[in-house]
Amino acid sequence: MPSPLFTQPPWPAIQAQIASSLKTHFSLEKITSTGGGCINATYHIQGNGQHYFVKLNKAHYLPMFEAEAAGLIEIKNTGTLRAPEPQCWGQADGSAWLVMEYLDLTGPGKSCGEALGLGLANMHRTFSSHYGWTRDNTIGTTLQKNDVSSDWIDFWRQQRLGYQLQLASANGHTGKLQKRGEQLLLRLEGFFTNTPIRASLLHGDLWGGNYAFDSSGQPVIFDPAVYYGDREADLAMTELFGGFPSSFYASYQNAYPLDTGYRTRKTLYNLYHILNHLNLFGGGYLHQAEQMLDRLLAEVK
């Protein structure tokens, strides 16, 4: 994992790029660390009555920020859910950054879950003729391949589960995991009998830490790993770590009902994220991945 710690962020270069890219006078007056997570350092910066949110990392992570900016724009262009608007991005002095609109986020109100469910359902009605996306991006810091495909099962086999299993093997996770994984890859068709899959715009990394609400109660989603695929993959991840209210699910289901096969396929989709956590954070996720593989294989004898 990259270190989010920086001895001296390149604030003069960031200040200059904000002024140049946005064609505005900007002079840094206040810098407040917002803590960030295990990937990036994050800051709220202010100057001349303007506020921005900044992500910082090492210079070679600039493509990660470029892909994130493109994903935020893809979401914003749907007009369905609010996402922070990317302002500019670049690198200097060994650091890369992404400057975004600063949003004052608060806790959810009574009807916020309903608004999030409806907004996501509407976003999922943004369709493509193919699965994948125009560029690769990252899931965490792992490369997420998005080569365009006309076959969803093949896409999930090769660019999602297969790719993560290859990484796991390279990381020393062989044996049962790989044997069961190979068996599952050969049987994926069994999960999609008479189930046509439309290529919907997905957030791609929709866990409880990647949404919030603005001061008016409008839902906001951020930190995307977008691509076009089965909308069930987004819904599945919302259930993986919790953090979404029952009103969210009721609202989504009312607006865009799910197929009954989702209850089984959600494990198939969440296996991708558990394998990614195994590859990012180590063996603590191995047993969970093996259990999920056993459960899935029992569904398709």
Q: Which residues are catalytic?
A: 205
**Do residues 191 and 300 make contact, with C-beta atoms less than 8 angstroms apart?**
yes
Hey, is 126 helix, strand or coil? coil
Are the CB atoms for 184 and 297 separated by under 8 Å?
yes
Beta bridge partners of 143: 138
Q: What is residue 157's three-state secondary structure?
A: helix
In degrees and rounded to multiples of 5, residue 77 shows phi and psi of: -65, -15
- Give the three-state DSSP class for 201: strand
Residues 6+ apart with CB under 8 A from 48: 24, 25, 26, 27, 29
Query: Cα separation of 263 and 247, whole Å?
Result: 18
